[in-house]
Amino acid sequence: MSATKTARLIRFAMIAAAATSLTACGAASRIADIGKAPELSTIQDPQAKPGYQPVSLPMPTPLPTERNPNSLWRNGSKAFFKDQRANKVGDILTINISIDDSAKVANSSKRSRANSEDAGMPSLFGLEGATLSRVLPAGASAANLVDLTSNSSNDGKGSVDRNEQIDLKVAALVTQSLPNGNLVIQGRQEVRVNFEVRDLQIHGVIRPEDITAQNTISYEKIAEARISYGGRGQISDVQQPRYGQQLYDIIMPF
């Protein structure tokens, strides 16, 4: 094969590799979005999304319903008038998220040990000299057969200093009603400021009894809570290492 054809093949392979890397890392779509504001996601039915799985949790045995025909009060009712709080699929409620967590842990450990062993055989019925000459090299001393020493030390320190603070509200949608009356909720909020989108997502399971009269609930009363607060756009992009550096960090063993 001529040198010209070899150079062309090498050039073609390099271009193909570069195109493959751009496609794999999504760089092509990012390049197409240069100068454009990030698009907001469309509102979709969570149950219509591919891969949606209804929540399945252990449920207690439902109690029999008691009827009081001569009473205006119904068992399970929260008021004489219609309850405006969310209680069925499609209802909306407000979630108050107020996270102010901090954790500080410091550990220190230090360990050291020194060992010394010295063994000899100065006399053994007068046979020590003849025995050593047959087994050990010339010049071996019966008085100093074994002399061992060892030293080990370990000094370890670790610390954790974490502080998180989030204070916001988000409306969530009831997506499922469980057999015991608990509600599965899902909420998402997107806010775009210039070229940056802030994305808040929350999922979990709540009890209708924990919903206040104002149709709100605090985040710490949400079971299996999944709270995600982040963003995407130009500011988030510059805060991340380039994809080449991320790939380098993954494949390099040192």
| Residue 204 amino acid letter | G
Task: State the pLDDT at residue 65.
Answer: 62
Give the whole-angstrom CA distance, residue 204 versus residue 225: 4
Locate 74 and state its tokens. Answer: 């119904």
| Sequence-ordered list of residues with C-beta below 8 angstroms from that of 160, at least 6 positions apart, any chain | 103, 104, 105, 106
Measured distance CA(166)–CA(173) in Å, rounded: 21
* pLDDT number for residue 169: 92
pLDDT of residue 154: 74
Q: Which helix (DSSP H) or strand (DSSP E) does residue 172 occupy?
A: strand 146-177
Q: How confident is the chain (254 residues) per 10-residue block, as mean pLDDT?
A: 66 63 62 76 81 82 66 60 81 91 83 76 62 64 70 80 84 92 93 90 93 93 91 84 79 72
Is 154 within 8 Å of 112 (Cβ atoms)?
yes
